[in-house]
């Protein structure tokens, strides 16, 4: 892998596919996407305003709301971004400079990001090392990808699962100009985050042949259907990386407004969201993600998911418990507004 700032220039590809990548966002597909955030459908996304979202628990009064916002802003301000980023899967994306590579690396890293942190980092690194420094160029040759990844394994995934993901994503990337343009076009068409993401996922699955193995657990899990009810944490993580403004963690590559995002709900965000009253739901479901995001939208309508990185890493550091714990809760930035302490 060729790291940014390594002193060695990143490879500049001159083939048509790379010229069409979203680096300057000048290709027809991206021009047609809602780049200026003016498309009414994208502005309105996500449009889902069902009873669960309407009933999302927001802080009960102005004083409580101000206290929660202050706690969240404090956690974000105190987050050691560079140190925490080095331990986050997004760190792999920052090693590349070509947007076509960054998109594919982000998809690989997000898709493999489950299980033990040390193990998943090792496996992401292994996959990228096997693929070489020019990920998009390698992905143009399905046989080469298959040969390089032969024998790869990570939990329930086998080499053919990762091959299908990479080859399918590259084909969609080439056809649309970028993965971001493909997703933005679906969001513009549907006006609904979940439907757009589902269509985008199906396109990649078809292009990579993952849909031809419906009973294969690895093929189904590596790029899951967001319309089945789970929080789709890894897909939401990918969207956050690609859509939120570049801030040293997220990269701001895709022409979609951050207001359209849902927070990636893992065990840390689920616990913290419940403990500070952003939701009364338990479990990492799509509705839980909607409720937590709806509450955060009250603090920043344009960029509600900006709190995710700092909150998630706070949860990992504190090992957030499900009850009052004087030892584990010591120094926690949201302790003043936690339901276990604010009684």
Quote the pLDDT of residue 161. 97
Q: Residue 294 above 80 pLDDT?
A: yes
Question: Rounded mean pLDDT of 331-341?
Answer: 90
Q: Say how many CA atoms lie within 13 Å of 221 toward its Cβ.
A: 11
Question: Rounded mean pLDDT of 256-276?
Answer: 94
Q: What pLDDT digit, counting tens, does each position of 221-242 carry? A: 999 999 898 999 999 999 999 9
Q: What pLDDT digit, counting tens, does each position of 189-224 carry? A: 999 999 999 999 999 999 999 999 988 999 999 999
Q: Which long-range contacts (CB under 8 A, 24 or more apart) does 150-153 make?
A: 152/126, 152/127
User: Any idea what DSSP says for residue 9?
Assistant: P
Query: What percentage of the chain carries pLDDT values higher than 90?
Result: 69
Neighbours of 257 (CB within 10 A): 18
Q: How far apart are alpha carbons 18 and 35 in whole angstroms? A: 20
Cα 241 off chain centre by: 5
Q: Give residue 106's pLDDT band: very low, low, confident or very high (50, 70, 90).
A: very high
Q: What pLDDT digit, counting tens, does each position of 140-150 carry? A: 999 999 999 99
pTM of the model: 0.82
């Amino acid at each position: 892998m060729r790291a940014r700032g390594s002193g060695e220039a990143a490879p500049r590809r001159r083939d048509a596919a790379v010229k069409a990548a979203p680096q300057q966002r000048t290709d027809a597909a991206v021009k047609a996407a809602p780049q200026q955030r003016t498309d009414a459908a994208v502005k309105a996304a996500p449009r889902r305003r069902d009873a669960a979202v309407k009933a999302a628990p927001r802080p009960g009064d102005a004083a409580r709301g101000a206290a929660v916002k202050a706690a969240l802003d404090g956690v974000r301000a105190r987050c050691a971004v560079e140190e925490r980023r080095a331990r986050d899967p997004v760190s792999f994306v920052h090693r590349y400079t070509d947007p076509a590579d960054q998109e594919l690396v982000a998809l690989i890293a997000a898709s493999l990001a489950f299980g033990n942190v040390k193990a998943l980092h090792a496996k992401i690194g292994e996959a990228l090392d096997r693929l070489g420094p020019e990920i998009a160029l390698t992905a143009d040759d399905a046989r080469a990808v298959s040969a390089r990844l032969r024998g790869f394994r990570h939990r329930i995934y086998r080499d053919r699962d990762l091959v299908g993901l990479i080859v399918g994503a590259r084909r969609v990337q080439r056809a649309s100009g970028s993965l971001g343009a493909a997703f933005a076009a679906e969001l513009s068409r549907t006006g609904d985050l979940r439907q757009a993401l589902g269509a985008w996922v199906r396109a990649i699955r078809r292009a990579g042949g993952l849909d031809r193995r419906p009973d294969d657990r690895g093929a189904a899990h590596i790029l899951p259907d967001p319309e089945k009810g789970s929080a789709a944490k890894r897909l939401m993580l990918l969207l956050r990386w690609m859509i939120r403004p570049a801030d040293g963690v997220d990269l701001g590559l895709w022409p979609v407004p951050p207001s359209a995002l849902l927070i990636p709900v893992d065990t840390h965000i689920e616990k913290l969201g419940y403990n500070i009253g952003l939701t009364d739901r338990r479990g990492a479901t799509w509705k839980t993600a909607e409720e937590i995001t709806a509450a955060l939208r009250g603090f920043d309508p344009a960029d509600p998911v900006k709190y995710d990185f700092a909150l998630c890493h706070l949860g990992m550091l504190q090992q957030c418990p499900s009850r009052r714990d004087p030892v584990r809760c010591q120094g926690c930035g949201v302790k003043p507004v936690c339901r276990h302490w604010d009684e």
